[in-house]
A and B are shown apart, each in its own frame.
Chain A
Amino acid sequence: MVNKRVTCSGCSLLCDDIIISTDGLYIDEVIGACLKGKERFDRVSAKNRIFNPYIKKNGELIKTTLEEAFEQVFKIIKNSTKPLLYGFSTVSCEAQLKGMELACLINGFIDSNSTICQGKVLNTSKETGLTLTTIGEAINKSDLLILWGANAAESIPRLLNKVLFSRGKFRMTGREIKTLIIIDPIKTASFNVMGVRDVALQIEPAKDIDLIRVLKDECCRVNSFPDEGVAGIDKNDLKRLLLHLTGTENGIIFIGQGILNAQNGNSVIKEMLELIQLINAKHEKGRISAFMLGGHYNMWGFDHVALSNYGINHSLQFTNQQLTETSDTIISKIEKDDFDCSIIVGTDPISHFPKQLSKKLISKPLILIDNTKTATFHIADVIIPSTLTGIETDGLAYRIDHIPLNLEKIINPPKNILSDEEIIKKIIRNLKQG
C-alpha cells in the first residue's frame, strides 16, 4: 500500500491534495475528497460502468467486439455529410484536440458543454474585458467573496473550504477577515456558512440585471439609488453592497449558473462584466475579479484548446476541411435539424436537453464514447467504452481558474478499453485509410 497525493477529477475544482492508498491494482481508500470525488474514484468498478462495446440491432443493444463497433462507426460517418460532435468536457485536452481534428476531417460541427454554460461569459469578455483570478490568490489575498447565483456549498463542495475558511499566507486569521456576500433568490445551503459580518441578499428571481444596472448608475453619479430599493433589496442594503464592492482590497465575484439562466436575458453577462470593469477603473486601492463556476472537470480545456488552435472558444463549423464562421450553437443546430448523425463524447445530452431537442437527437444515428451508463447510453446506436481520465489514463486538464494541471495515471484500465484519445485517433486512421 502506498499513500500518495493525486489530483481529483470529480469536478472542475481539480483538488490536488487528495490522498489515496493504492497497491497499483485497486484504489483502497480515498482521504480528503468530497462525496463527488469519492464517487469519481468509485466509478472504476461501479455497477453502471460500460465494459463492452455495444451495437443496436433491431432496436436492442447487443454486445460486440471493438472491431465491429469501429466498423459501424466508420459506416455511419461515411454516410453522413454534416455530422455533429458534442461533449468533450470530461476528456483530456489531448482528446479534445483530436476531436477537433476529426471534426475538420469529416466537415462536422463541434461544440462542448461550455456553450450552454460559462463559455458565454468568456465569449462576452471579448467585448468588455475580463479580470481573472486564481484559487491561490483567493486563498492568500482575498477579503471579499460574492456568491452571485451560485450555491457553491453543494455544487462544488470544497470551494468554500479552500477559498473562505483557509487562513492563507499573509493573514493570521482566515474566516474573520473575509467577508461573504450571497446574492440568491432562494435560501440555499451556502447561507449556513454565514458569519456576523456577512451580508445575505435575497433577490427577486430574474431581476439580477436591474440590480447590476443600479449599481453601475451609482458608480457614475452619486445618490442615484431609488428610495424603494430594487429587486427586493432595500436602499440600505444597496449602499452596504456598494461600500463593500468599492472598499475591498481583493474582491472576487463568483458567477454562478443562476445569472446565466435564460430568464435573465443575454445582456446580463455583459452588464456584469462592465460593472466589474467600472469598479476597477474607479477605485485605486484594490480590484475585483470574476470567477466563473462550471461543473465539468475539463470544461475550460475545450475553450482553451479551441482558442489556441482556431481562435474561437466554442461552436466550430468546418467546411472543406477549413473553419468557417457561424453563429450556430449546438442548440440551434439540433433545433434546425441541421445534422445527419451525432458523435457524443463523455456527456449525457438526453438527460440535460429539453424533450423536443432530445427527440430530434434520437431520430438520427448516434455514436457514444463514454464510460458510464446514462440515459444517452440506452438510445445510442454504437457505444464505445472509454477509460477514466485522471485515474486510468493521464492527460492535461484546465482547472476552474484556467490553470492547466496534469492528471496522473493511478491504476491500469480494464482489458480492451481504450482512452478517449486513442478511440478518436483510431476513427481518424480508419477514415483516412478509407
Chain B
Amino acid sequence: MELYKFLPKTNCKKCGKPTCMAFALDLLQGKVKVDDCTPLLEPKYKKEYDKLKELLGAEEGKEKELRIDVDEELCDGCGICVTVCPVNARYCPPTLSGKAPDYPPEKHQLFQIKGGKCELLAIKHCRRIEAEGRERECRVCETYCPREAIKIDYV
C-alpha cells in the first residue's frame, strides 16, 4: 500500500497491467521496475517518482556494500573495538581478558591496533555480513568507541 500511494492511480494500462494496484504488487516483488510506469516519468509526478526510488532503495540496501570507517585522526588506540567485537572474542582468546590478540592476526580477526591506531583487517567476517537474525544488527564497535572514530555505513 505504501508504494500504491505514490503511483498516478489513473489505471492507464500503459505498463501492461490492468490496475495501478497490480503494478504496485509486482513492484514489491521485483517483477517490474519504477521506470516501466511511463506517466511517472512526466515532470508533474517528479516528487512521487523520487519517493518511490527512495523507498525501493531502502529495501535494496542489503545488496549495498558494508563499509566501516575508522577515523585515524580521532583514534587513540585504546583497543575497545578489539575487545568488544564478538567475532574477535570468538577467534582470539586473549581478548577475553582485555589483552591484545596474537600477531600475526588470525584470519577471522576484524580489528587490530598497530602503531597506536586502529586497523580494519577482514571486513568479510563482520557480523553484519556473516551472521543471521538479530545478530546481523551488531553495532557494538560504533556504540562503544569513546572517541567516536568508528562509523558503520552502507555505500
Contacts and interface: CB of A to CB of B under 8 A. Distances in A.
Interface of A: 3, 15, 17-19, 21, 29-39, 139-140, 153-154, 157-158, 160-163, 165-169, 174-175, 189-190, 192-193
Nearest to B144: A193
Given A18-B100, A192-B146, A193-B144, A31 B114 contact: yes
Interface stretch (B19-27, B42-50, B91-99): B91-99
A160 B79 CA distance: 9
B102 to A, nearest CB: 8
A33 B77 contact: yes
Main secondary structure of the interface of B (DSSP, over half): loop
12 contacts: A30-B114, A33-B100, A34-B76, A38-B116, A153-B78, A157-B77, A157-B79, A158-B78, A160-B146, A161-B80, A161-B82, A162-B98
Interface of B: 76-80, 82-84, 89, 94-104, 112-117, 144-148
A160 B78 contact: yes
Given A17-B94, A19-B100, A34 B77 contact: yes
Contacts of A163: 98
A157 B75 CA distance: 10
Given A189-B146, A192-B148, A157 B99 contact: no
Nearest to B101: A32
Nearest to A168: B97
B113 A166 contact: no
A432 B114 CA distance: 49
Given A17-B100, A189-B146, A190-B146, A31 B113 contact: yes
A169 B97 contact: yes
B79 A34 contact: yes
B64 to A, nearest CB: 27
B18 to A, nearest CB: 51
B103 A3 contact: yes
Given A192-B145, A192-B147, A193-B146, A165 B114 contact: no
A175 B116 CA distance: 23
B98 A161 contact: yes
A32 B100 contact: yes
A184 to B, nearest CB: 13
Contacts of B100: 15, 17-19, 31-33
Contacts of A189: 146-147
A19 B77 contact: no
B76 A29 contact: no
A34 B113 contact: yes
A189 B148 CA distance: 9
B29 to A, nearest CB: 39
